[in-house]
Structure 1
Amino acid sequence: MGCCRMLGTEDRAAIMVGMNSGLSQVRTAHLIGRSPSVVCREIARHTGPDRVYRAEAAGQASP
């Protein structure tokens, strides 16, 4: 079974920086110590039609 820890503000900021830097989702996932599938789902959920991931909006949407 995987980790149940939710993504935090720092994780989301790292995902945004990784995307803006051209890192792959897999590399970004390894850097923050999360599964690539977690990062992939996070990006899919919080990327707008302009293909920009928004960490701040993602954090506000989380419980």
Structure 2
Amino acid sequence: MVAAQKFNEINNIPIARIYCIISSGTVWRFLKLEAKTLTIDLHGSAVPPVEPLLGMLVWMVRDG
């Protein structure tokens, strides 16, 4: 995420926040990097049910 942020800065690409999704294969966690603040979803989400996960993805796209 920091590398993506630095790449955007170097190339004058104004992106205010960088999102990331990590998975252990059964649990998904969502992260957001905004300036020097990293927000981490500490609860995680299991793959089933998929609706909350899709909701988070839609939110990221709309917010970004």
TM-score band, normalised by shorter chain: under 0.3
TM-score (norm 1): 0.26
Q: Which of the two has higher C-alpha Rg?
A: 2
Determine which structure has the larger strand proportion and give its number: 2
Determine which structure has the larger helix proportion and give its number: 1
Q: Which has the higher contact order (CA 8 A, sep 6+)?
A: 1
TM-score (norm 2): 0.26
